Each structure stands twice: as structure tokens, then as C-alpha cells.
């Protein structure tokens, strides 16, 4: 089997080809790049930054995916507010449209939170990037619609997502969330997404055997 030596991990995760893309780690992603739409930039010029608190030491009231084996990782990566925002953004990205599972159906937020405890994802800067993006998303929602994202109706939320997808940094943020949604949809259920193989069943994917168990996940080899 031919394998290329030229693969780029960040390309797979984010990889916007829009002109101003440098990647969040290389560029030190800023809110200006994220909000790069003509309307938003004009509005932002005179407004102070308004970001939700980034509290990473929150409660432990979410069911942990079965593969959580590292006892040193924090129980919760996102605040309750951040999780609400992420849940609603994810529902825009993978909606309940009557054909296939929605983000909620595949445990999108719980999976994302668990994935943010993966050392490689942490090294990639993903948890911080996702948290920052939530703040910038709310900035744009307030500036253009007058309310934070989760207070908007479906149509206005859709409009906001469309708007941020027009900038490279915004597109990268959404792309990263999509990256983890595809994992929640199609990885083995042992990792907390794809409950009862709902993603596999929808896409008629035939799993291999033997499958990993909670004692034999990839983290048990690390």
C-alpha cells in the first residue's frame, strides 16, 4: 500500500485554504481574523472584547465516556456555559434534520470534552482554541444580533455560523469542531460517541473484529 510522506496533521484537523490562514498555533490566532467579515470588523472597531469566563475546573456531573482511563486529567474541560454554546453550534453543524443522527444523538459535547483530554490534542492547542472561539462567537453574536449565541433563534444562529465560516480562522474553528464530530459519529462506541453504533448504522459501516474494549483503547498503549 502506497503511503505519502507528506501528510500534515493540522491540515486534517483544520486546513482552511482561505488566504489569511496560518493555523492557530503559528499565527497566535486573533479575534480579528476570526471575525473577518466586513460588517463585523466595522462593528468591532469601537467595542471592547466581551468573552465568557474560561473556567476549566468545573463540576463533574457529566457521564464520562467508558474509555477515560487517565486519572490525572481534569473531569471537565469546558464550563457549563461553554458546553451549552458548543452543543448548539454542534447542532448547526450536524443538525436533527430527519436523516441520520444529530450532534446530540452522538453525544457530541461529551465526546468533545473527553477528546480534549488527549495529550496530542492538548499539544495541538485544541482545548484553548475551542474555548477562545466560543468567546469570539459570542462577540459576533452580540455585535450583529444583540444577544449571545445561545439566545438566538435557529435562523440567526445559522446566519452567525455562515458568517464566521467566511473567515479563515472562523472556518478553522468550525472545521475543528467538525473533526471531532466525525470522530463522535464514526469511532468505536467505546470512546463515548456513536452510541449503539448509531453512526455506523446510518452510514451502513461494517465494523471490524475484534473491537476495542474499555480495557484496550488506544490510551492503554500510551
All three cell numbers of 24: 492557530
Contact of 138 with 57, CB cutoff 8 Å: no
Q: Taking the complex as a whole, how short is the minimal distance between the CB of residue 205 and another protein, in angstroms?
A: 5
Q: Taking the complex as a whole, how short is the minimal distance between the CB of residue 141 and another protein, in angstroms?
A: 17
Q: Taking the complex as a whole, how short is the minimal distance between the CB of residue 105 and another protein, in angstroms?
A: 12
| Total Cβ atoms within 10 A of residue 97 | 7
Nearer to another protein, 72 or 204 (CB): 204
Nearer to another protein, 41 or 207 (CB): 207
Nearer to another protein, 17 or 45 (CB): 17
Nearer to another protein, 43 or 178 (CB): 178
Question: What distance in Å separates the CA atoms of residue 22 and residue 168, rounded to the nearest whole number?
Answer: 9
Question: What distance in Å separates the CA atoms of residue 118 and residue 216, rounded to the nearest whole number?
Answer: 16
Residue 40, CA distances (Å) to 24, 122, 144 in order: 20, 30, 7
**Cis status of the peptide bond prior to 32, with omega within 30 of 0:** no
Q: Taking the complex as a whole, how short is the minimal distance between the CB of residue 198 and another protein, in angstroms?
A: 13
| Total Cβ atoms within 10 A of residue 201 | 12
Nearer to another protein, 81 or 202 (CB): 202
* Interface ranges with another protein (CB under 8 A): 1-7, 12, 15-17, 92-95, 97, 99-100, 120, 158, 161, 165, 171, 174-175, 178-179, 182-183, 185-188, 191, 200, 202-213, 216-218, 221-222
Q: Taking the complex as a whole, how short is the minimal distance between the CB of residue 124 and another protein, in angstroms?
A: 12
Question: What distance in Å separates the CA atoms of residue 113 and residue 41, rounded to the nearest whole number?
Answer: 31
Characterize 148-184 residue by residue with b for buried, 16 or more Cβ atoms within 10 angstroms of its Cβ, and e for exposed: bbbebeeebbeebbebbbebbbbbbbbbbbbbbbebb
Question: What distance in Å separates the CA atoms of residue 167 and residue 136, rounded to the nearest whole number?
Answer: 13
Nearer to another protein, 79 or 217 (CB): 217
Q: Taking the complex as a whole, how short is the minimal distance between the CB of residue 53 and another protein, in angstroms?
A: 27
Determine the angle formed by the axes of helices 108-115 and 80-93, rounding to 10 degrees. Answer: 120
Amino acid at each position: 500500500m502506497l503511503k505519502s510522506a507528506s501528510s500534515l496533521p493540522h491540515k486534517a484537523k483544520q486546513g482552511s485554504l482561505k488566504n489569511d490562514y496560518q493555523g492557530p498555533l503559528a499565527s497566535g490566532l486573533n479575534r480579528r481574523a476570526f471575525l473577518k467579515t466586513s460588517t463585523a470588523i466595522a462593528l468591532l472597531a469601537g467595542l471592547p472584547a466581551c468573552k465568557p469566563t474560561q473556567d476549566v475546573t468545573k463540576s463533574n456531573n457529566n457521564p464520562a465516556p467508558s474509555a477515560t482511563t487517565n486519572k490525572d486529567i481534569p473531569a471537565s474541560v469546558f464550563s457549563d456555559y461553554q458546553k451549552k454554546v458548543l452543543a448548539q453550534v454542534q447542532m448547526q453543524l450536524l443538525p436533527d434534520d430527519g436523516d441520520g443522527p444529530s450532534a446530540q444523538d452522538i453525544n457530541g459535547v461529551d465526546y468533545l470534552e473527553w477528546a480534549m483530554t488527549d495529550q496530542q490534542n492538548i499539544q495541538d492547542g485544541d482545548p484553548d482554541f475551542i474555548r477562545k472561539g466560543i468567546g469570539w462567537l459570542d462577540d459576533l453574536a452580540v455585535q450583529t444580533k444583540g444577544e449571545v449565541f445561545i439566545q438566538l433563534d435557529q435562523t440567526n444562529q445559522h446566519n452567525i455560523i455562515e458568517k464566521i465560516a467566511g473567515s479563515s480562522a472562523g472556518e478553522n474553528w468550525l472545521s475543528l469542531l467538525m473533526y471531532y464530530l466525525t470522530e463522535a459519529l464514526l469511532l468505536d462506541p467505546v470512546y463515548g460517541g456513536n452510541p449503539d453504533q448509531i453512526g455506523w448504522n446510518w452510514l451502513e459501516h461494517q465494523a471490524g473484529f475484534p473491537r476495542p474494549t474499555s480495557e484496550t483503547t488506544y490510551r492503554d498503549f500510551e
